[in-house]
């Protein structure tokens, strides 16, 4: 099952011209605000009618302007989760959850209902009205409402953007479970690279109404060419790691393709696989194995590319085993170190520079 | 109540009864159309929207006697629509209470549309979109989301319309005249009592009834309008 999007649409100032395929799992539509991310999702949902194009959900063509196909939104079977939840204020949480099944005349499915309620931990809220819920609770109910409506695909439009950091941390694990358990493509609109790094398996990077790059998340985020689009301060590669020990002094040991990483205690069992985002600006490069310094982690690697930007910085991509790591250093350092493609270097990473929100399942 | 009946007298009582009947039917008949027009004005963009808006509000601005005159020109027994109605359905409007109901409905219509339109505009259109993505057709969205949220506004509009219909005078007297027991509504009766010597007491009693109805309607509609706001907040 996949979502296939090929649309063109003019908004006056912005013109949208995008083509991509989203497989099962979470596909992030990522880019700065105003690049048309929400418009794409709206086109898939049928809320916006693009000037031209084709949208196919699985084997179901919901839009084909050439063939004159344009299914109204209520026949598209999409589960849309909005940034502002949009729960029906006059209905209880339970009625909200069952709304899609009721209007679509789908049979009741108590098993699915209890599964969703359990997964999202909203059992205690069922009798309440949306007005009495917190932002995080509202989003969970919105997610449940979409899941229970019998969707072919899920559309999540910045579901965390309206929440504070604590609420975000509360929802993220639910989204990870959703990604792993829901057997359907999920489009996830976000302008937060941390969310994308943690959740998405595929990234569609958008720039001014066009697709700049599509690919697996690790590949896209470790590509030096995307750094200007993401912003140098946010750029960083994802490293796949496995938890091997929780140590007594509050650190966890993780094994990566490039060597061991010690991070502040991670909330995961030994043996579990994690995705760790290492920000480029938190990485120090050294020609020699570091000694007598406070940073705990040094991954041995080889320089793959050096990319100079307009500013004083250079983005260096390293290959550490089978992992890619990005480092942002100054041109001066690169010159003094005589960095060249193929050179062996050490990437030094402070344990405490990796935040909890940078580590996910 | 018997005290009121004594003061009003048979003529006043029959006028009050007739006004209640006229206002009831005017409200019941105008409400669905008012709701439809309110929804169209609140939610749709189309060519000629301002013309429709103007037409709806015209009775509010026009001298009522003009509305009554136009009604007579259209629905009089020799007027095109009036003759057709009588021939096809045996329905006569001019100089009958049914005509009074029509006149009252037209005069109350703008007030009803206004209240309902405000209620509809207060509903976040995004909620209706959300319902659509969940699988609800336009009609189903209206019935399950829009209508429940605006119900107090609809009722408030109906209450205002009813009060306006109770008090309609100019168009009514022009279209259906002032025949005691047949087309003499509350305001027409007040007018008639004021024309005869010694009728002031009954006129005053009817005036008090009118003020009571109007105040009651305003209070009820204010309370209901507040309830719309509470409902939309989801408290």
Q: Does B200 touch chain A (CB under 8 A)?
A: no
pLDDT at position B235 is: 56
One digit per residue, the tens of pLDDT, for chain A of length 361 reads 899 999 999 887 788 999 999 998 899 999 887 788 899 999 999 999 999 999 999 889 999 999 999 999 999 999 999 999 999 999 999 999 999 999 999 998 999 999 899 888 899 999 999 988 988 899 999 999 999 999 999 999 998 888 888 888 888 888 888 888 888 999 999 988 888 888 899 999 998 888 988 999 888 888 888 888 888 888 888 888 899 999 999 899 999 888 889 999 988 889 888 889 999 999 999 998 888 888 888 899 999 989 887 788 899 999 988 888 999 999 999 999 999 999 999 999 998 888 887 888 7
CA-wise closest residue to A315 among A335, A300, A331, A302: A331
Q: What is the ipTM score, two decimals?
A: 0.80
Assess contact for A360 and A199: CB atoms under 8 A.
Answer: yes
CB B177 within 8 A of CB B95: yes
**Alpha helix locations (H) across chain A?**
37-45, 93-103, 110-120, 135-148, 165-181, 193-199, 217-221, 227-230, 331-336
Q: In which residue are the tokens 């909330």 written?
A: A267
- In the numeric block, the tokens 């350092």 are attached to A333
CB contact under 8 A, B134 and A76: no
CA distance B229 to chain A (A): 11
The chain B residue lying nearest A95, using CA atoms, is B144
| CA proximity to A296, closest of A245, A252, A328 | A252
The residue assigned the tokens 């689009």 is: A229
CA–CA min distance A57, chain B (Å): 14
Q: Which chain B residues touch A104 with a CB distance below 8 Å? A: 134-135
Among A79, A89, A103, beta carbon nearest to B231: A89
Q: With the CA atoms of B192, B194, B199 and B200 taken in that order, what torsion angle do they form, in degrees rounded to the nearest 10? A: 140
Nearest to B24 by CA among B215, B185, B220, B141: B185
pLDDT in the model for residue A296: 87
Could you tell me if B229 lies within 8 Å of chain A, comparing CB atoms? no
Q: Which residues from chain B sit within 8 angstroms of residue A150, using beta carbons?
A: 135
Q: Per-residue pLDDT averaged across B59-81, rounded?
A: 91
Closest residue in B to A149 (Cα) is: B134
Q: pLDDT tens digit string along A193-242?
A: 888 888 899 999 998 888 988 999 888 888 888 888 888 888 888 888 89
pLDDT at B234: 64
**8 Å CB contact between B22 and B185:** yes
Reply yes or no on whether the pLDDT at B1 is more than 70. Answer: no
CA dist., res. B174 & res. A233, Å (int): 78
Q: What is the predicted pLDDT for the residue at B134?
A: 96
What rounded mean pLDDT belongs to chain B? 90
- Is the CB of B92 inside 8 Å of chain A's CB atoms? no
Tell me how far apart the alpha carbons of residues A160 and A142 are, in angstroms, rounded to a whole number. 12
The minimal CB distance from B144 to the residues A45, A84, A103 is found for: A103
Q: Are B146 and B160 in contact (CB under 8 A)?
A: no
Answer whether B232 sits within 8 Å of A89, measured CB to CB.
yes
Q: Is the pLDDT of residue B14 over 80?
A: yes
């Amino acid at each position: 099952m996949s979502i296939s999007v090929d649309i063109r649409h003019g908004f006056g100032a912005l013109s949208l011209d995008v083509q991509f395929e989203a497989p099962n799992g979470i596909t992030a539509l990522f880019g700065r605000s105003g690049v048309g991310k929400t418009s794409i999702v709206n086109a898939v949902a049928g809320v916006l009618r693009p000037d031209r194009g084709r949208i196919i959900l699985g084997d179901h063509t919901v839009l084909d302007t050439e063939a004159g196909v344009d299914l109204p939104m209520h026949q598209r079977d999409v589960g849309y989760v909005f940034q502002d939840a949009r729960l029906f204020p006059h209905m209880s949480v339970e009625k909200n959850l069952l709304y899609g099944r009721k209007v679509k005349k789908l049979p009741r499915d108590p098993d699915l209902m209890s599964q969703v309620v359990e997964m999202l931990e909203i059992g205690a809220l069922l009798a309440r009205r949306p007005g009495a819920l917190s932002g995080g609770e509202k989003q969970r109910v919105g997610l449940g409402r979409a899941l229970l409506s019998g969707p072919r695909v899920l559309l999540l439009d910045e579901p965390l953007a309206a929440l504070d950091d604590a609420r975000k941390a509360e929802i993220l694990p639910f989204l990870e479970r959703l990604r792993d358990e829901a057997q359907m493509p999920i489009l996830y609109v976000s302008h937060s690279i941390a969310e994308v790094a943690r959740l998405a398996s595929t990234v569609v990077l958008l720039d001014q109404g066009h697709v700049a790059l599509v690919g697996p998340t690790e590949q896209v985020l470790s590509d030096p060419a995307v750094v200007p689009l993401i912003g140098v301060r946010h750029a960083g590669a994802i490293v796949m790691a496995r938890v091997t020990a929780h140590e007594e002094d509050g650190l966890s040991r993780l094994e990566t393709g490039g060597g061991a990483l010690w991070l502040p205690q991670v909330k995961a069992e030994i043996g579990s696989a994690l995705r760790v985002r290492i920000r480029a600006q938190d990485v120090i490069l050294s020609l020699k194995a570091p000694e007598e310094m406070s940073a705990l982690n040094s991954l041995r690697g080889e320089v793959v590319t050096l990319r100079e930007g307009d500013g004083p910085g250079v983005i260096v991509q390293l290959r550490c085993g089978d992992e890619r790591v990005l480092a942002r250093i100054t041109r001066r350092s690169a010159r003094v170190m005589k960095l060249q493609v193929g050179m062996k270097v050490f990437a030094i990473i402070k344990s405490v520079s990796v935040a909890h929100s940078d580590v996910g399942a | 109540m018997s005290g009121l009946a004594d003061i009003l007298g048979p003529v006043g009582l029959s006028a009050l009864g007739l006004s209640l009947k006229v206002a009831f039917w005017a409200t019941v008949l105008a409400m669905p159309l008012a709701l439809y027009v309110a929804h169209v004005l609140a939610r749709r963009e189309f060519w000629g929207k301002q013309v429709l808006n103007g037409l709806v509000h015209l009775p509010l601005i026009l001298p009522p006697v003009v509305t009554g005159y136009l009604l007579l020109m259209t629905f009089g027994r020799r007027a095109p629509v009036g003759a057709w109605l009588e021939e096809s359905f045996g329905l006569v409007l001019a100089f009958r209470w049914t005509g009074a109901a029509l006149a009252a409905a037209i005069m109350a219509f703008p007030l009803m549309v206004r209240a309902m339109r405000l209620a509809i505009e207060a509903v976040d259109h995004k909620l209706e979109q959300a319902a659509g993505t969940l699988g609800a057709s336009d009609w189903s969205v209206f019935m399950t989301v829009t209508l429940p949220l605006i119900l107090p506004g609809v009722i408030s509009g109906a209450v205002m319309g009813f009060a306006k219909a109770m008090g309609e005078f100019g168009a009514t007297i022009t279209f259906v005249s002032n025949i005691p027991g047949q087309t003499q509504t509350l305001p027409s009766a007040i007018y008639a009592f004021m024309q005869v010597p010694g009728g002031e007491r009954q006129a005053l009693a009817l005036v008090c009834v009118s003020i009571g109805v109007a105040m009651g309607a305003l209070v009820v509609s204010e309370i209901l309008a507040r309830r719309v706001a509470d409902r939309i907040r989801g408290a």
